[in-house]
Structure 1
Amino acid sequence: MSIPSRADRPAPEDVFDHLRREDGEHVGYIEMTADGRFIPYDRLWVRRGGAMELDEAEAALDEVGLRFLAEDWLLQEADESAGEATWTRVRIREVHRDRVVVARAMEDLSANVAKAVDLVGGIELPLPTTRLRPAR
């Protein structure tokens, strides 16, 4: 899996949405390459393979599906007191073409009981982002 930077993201005219045949769910994007091949990206713009035939790219995205929405993720945040980056467990709340909204996982909030905690707010990140990684 490779995450393109915003500058490396494919040109919009070279990308189309992929909808799963069984239920019409939007599960990713497919980039058309100059040589007539196709590169699959999931909803977070993570590349899910190299250039391949269209049916292979569709199958790769169908396999990934939307299960990543149910998984825990780690969000890189700046720890201003220590002056370094920390990784906080989050869950994905919303995914849009150009951004993702995450919220801190409840188990990560237990150490902050005495602090004011916003349980409804989210953290919005532009896509693609290198600040998220799977927690597995």
Structure 2
Amino acid sequence: MIHLGTIELAWPVKALSPNARPHWSDLAKAKKFARMDAWLLCRAAKIPVQRADASLHLRFTFHPKVKRARDLDNLLASMKAAIDGIRDALGVDDSRFSFAMCMGPVVRGGKVVVDIIAVKRADETRRVPPPDHPVLGYPG
């Protein structure tokens, strides 16, 4: 695993929550802003563009504005537009992402810290069995 970089995003606006019911135009504006913000921060952090078939691990640390119980899966859903911005900046299909989430300490204004880590794919590390391997049916 290779740490490619870290970006700090603003706390997601309420309109991006899956439990919110904003007007469609307010939701579209919030998504556009979150996507562009993530794209710009990735480019500013000089995180290198990856191969299209690369596997990346995104580790989210959510630093809320106030100390209150939060639902991590809703927080991840609120980050969908930002994840798309990261995908755009790095040139990787977001189906190749894996995620980890945790809550950090409360900070004024709130923020989300995203660590971007390149993960070696399983087929790159797979060893070829010897030709006389009994399980695979080779003569032996």
TM (normalized to structure 1)? 0.25
Larger strand proportion of the pair: 1
Which has the greater radius of gyration?
2
Structure 2 length normalisation: TM-score? 0.24
